[in-house]
Amino acid sequence: MSEMTGTPIAHAPGFIANETPRIVTARFDYADSHTLERYEATDGYQALRKALEQTPEEVHSEVTDATLLGRGGAGFPAGVKWGFCPPGVWPRYLVVNGDESEPGTYKDRLLMELDPHQLIEGCLIACYAVGLSQCFLYVRGEMAVAQERVATALNDAYDAGYIGKNILGTEFSVDIVLHWGAGAYVVGEETALIESLEGNRGMPRLKPPYFPASIGLYGQPTIVNNVETLANLPWIVQHGASAFTAIGTESSPGTRMVAVSGHVKRPGVYEIVNGTTTFRDLLYGADMCGGIRDDNQLKAFVPGGGSAPWFTPDQLDLPFEASQVGPQGSMLGSGAIMVMDETADIPAAALTLTKFYAHESCGKCVPCREGGTWLEQILRRVVEGRGTPRDLELLIEVGETICPGDFPHAAVPSKGIEAVPFPYRMTTICFVGPSAFAPIHSALTLFREEFEAKVAGNEHPTMIEVAVDV
C-alpha cells in the first residue's frame, strides 16, 4: 500500500483533508473555525452582502442554476424545492434539518460544530431569496456541543447585526431561533420534524397533502433544508452557479461530504467531488481511506446510510451519481458508507441495522410498528443459532408486507443475480419501515449461504409446548 496522503485535522476529529476542492469544509483547518472572528477573516458574511445587493429572485435563480442537490438523503434540487411555495400565501418559514441520525452519517454535526456561521449565512440567504420570515434551526438533541457552538454563533451574529431587524441596514429582517430535539430518528423526516417543532410526537404526516412547501409548519408554506445543503449557499452566491457546476458533473455538481466507517484503514469524513468520485477512490485512495484494514478483502458496504441496500466489490467503480447508483439497486442517501471486510458476520451486521429501525419506528403505520419488531426478533434468533430454514422465508414474507413487490438490490454476476433498481414500493408513510427490511433483504440476497449456515440442522421451529388440561 502506498503512503497515505490526506491529512487528518486534529481539532476536527474524524475529518480528513485532501486535495479535492473544499466548499463547505474550507475553514476546518483553523482551530478557531467556529468563531465569528475567523469567519469574518475568511470572507464570512460577504455572500450575504452580495445577496442583499441583488433581488431575491436573482439569488433564487443562482441557486436553481447551481443544481444544488439536497444533501439530506433524497437529493432533490434545493432551488426547485424553494419554487414549490404557493404564490401569495404568507408567512413562509424555514426549518433547518440538523437532526442528523441516519446510521453511519455525520457531516451535519461537523458543519454545526466547526463552521456554524457558514450555516447561519446559508439560512439568511435562503430566507432572503424565498421570502421566509422566520427560521427555526433544529439541532439533534444528542449533540450538546453542536448546540453550544450554534448558540454562540447565533448570539454573536445577532450582536454583529447579521441576524434580526434590518440586517446590514437593509429592509431584510429575520429571526433565527435555535430549537433542539430530544432523541428520535424519525424526526429527520421533514414532516415529522415539523410535528416535533409544533410540540408534538414526531410522527410523519401523509404526503399529499402535507408537502411542507405548501402545507408545513402551522399549516404554512415551509422550506425544510438539510444543514449541508444550506452550508453550500454562501459559496454559491459568492462564486456563482457556473463555478459550482464546473465542479463534479452536470447532474451532480459541486462537492459532498461523506463519512466512511467500519473496516477501512482510515475511517473518516471526506469532502469529495460529486458525480465523478467512485467508491473505489473513496475506499482505496491514498488520500482517502487507504484500503481495507489489515489488507483484508472487502466483503460488502452500505453505500448511502443504514437505509440503503448494500453493495459488494462488484459495484466499487460506480461514481457518486444518483442516476448510476439507482439502477444498480441502491441510493447515495445521506453520504454514509459502512464497510465490512471478509471477517464480518453478515447476518449479525444486518441485525445491528434492523434493530435500529425497529427501535426507531414511531408506531404510526402498522406494517412498520409490527413488522420492524418481527423482523428484528426473527433475525435475532437466526443470528443466535435458534432459527430454522423457514425463518429465512418468513423474513422475506414479513418484509413484503412493508415493501410489496421486488425490493431493490445489487447484481452478483458470479451468482447470476441481476440488479433490481431503486426505489421500492411501500405500505408505510415514511421510509423507516422499509429501512428495517433493507439490510435483511440485501444480506439475504447477496450472502444467503451465511444465513443457511446459521439455521442448518434446526429443522423444527423453536417453540414452547404448552400442555393444556381440558
Partner 1 sequence: MKFFTEENSSLAEEIIGRYPKPRSAMIPLLHLAQEQEGWVTDEAMAEIAELVGTTSAEVLGTCSFYEMFKRHPVGKYVINICTTMSCALMGAGDLMEHAELRLGVKSGSTTADGMFTLEGAECQAACTEAPCLQVNYRHQYRVTTNQFDALIEELSSSDHEVPEHGVLSQIRQHIPENRFVGVVPPEDVTAAPVWLNDNGSDQ
| Interface with partner 1 (CB under 8 A), residue from 5, 41, 164, 449 | 164
Looking at the Cβ atoms of 90 and 459, the one nearer to partner 1 is 90
Question: CA torsion, points 221, 227, 230, 235, in degrees to nearest 10?
Answer: 180
Output phi, psi for 135, to 5 deg: -120, 135
Tell me the C-alpha distance between 301 and 321, whole Å.
17
For position 7 contacting partner 1 by CB under 8 A, the verdict is: no
Minimum distance of partner 1 from residue 442's CB (angstroms): 12
Q: Please, are residues 223 and 132 in contact by the beta-carbon 8 Å criterion? A: yes
Stretch of residues binding partner 1 (CB under 8 A), selected from 247-255, 261-269, 317-325, 375-383? 261-269
| Interface with partner 1 (CB under 8 A), residue from 7, 200, 242, 323 | 200
| Interface with partner 1 (CB under 8 A), residue from 9, 126, 174, 272 | 174
| Interface with partner 1 (CB under 8 A), residue from 168, 182, 246, 366 | 182
Size of the site for partner 1 (CB under 8 A): 88
| Binders of partner 1 in range 289-318 (CB under 8 A) | 302, 306
Binding mask 91-130 for partner 1 (x = CB under 8 A): x--------xxxxxxx-xx------------------x--
Tell me the C-alpha distance between 126 and 122, whole Å.
6
Residue 379 burial (C-beta neighbours within 10 Å; 0-12, 13-18, 19+): buried
| Interface with partner 1 (CB under 8 A), residue from 170, 242, 323, 462 | 170
Tell me the C-alpha distance between 165 and 174, whole Å.
6
Q: Please, are residues 70 and 81 in contact by the beta-carbon 8 Å criterion? A: yes
- Reference 341, options 303, 300, 288, 311; nearest CA is 300
Stretch of residues binding partner 1 (CB under 8 A), selected from 71-79, 262-270, 393-401, 419-427? 262-270
Stretch of residues binding partner 1 (CB under 8 A), selected from 153-161, 239-247, 382-390, 430-438? 153-161
Determine what percent of the chain falls in helix, strand and coil, rounding each to the nearest 5.
Answer: 40, 15, 45
For position 450 contacting partner 1 by CB under 8 A, the verdict is: no
Q: Please, are residues 273 and 298 in contact by the beta-carbon 8 Å criterion? A: no
For position 407 contacting partner 1 by CB under 8 A, the verdict is: no
Output phi, psi for 276, to 5 deg: -110, -35
| Interface with partner 1 (CB under 8 A), residue from 197, 233, 308, 365 | 197
Binding mask 206-245 for partner 1 (x = CB under 8 A): ------------xxx-------------------------
Tell me the C-alpha distance between 106 and 100, whole Å.
7
Q: Which amino acid does the sequence have at 439?
A: P
The DSSP-derived string for 231-287 is HTHHHHHHH-HHHHHTSB-SSSBSEEEEEEEESBSS-EEEEEETTT-BHHHHHH-TT
Q: Which amino acid does the sequence have at 77?
A: P
Stretch of residues binding partner 1 (CB under 8 A), selected from 25-33, 65-73, 169-177, 452-460? 169-177
Stretch of residues binding partner 1 (CB under 8 A), selected from 88-96, 248-256, 379-387, 448-456? 88-96
For position 268 contacting partner 1 by CB under 8 A, the verdict is: yes
| 423: its cell numbers | 426505489
Minimum distance of partner 1 from residue 466's CB (angstroms): 29
For position 179 contacting partner 1 by CB under 8 A, the verdict is: yes
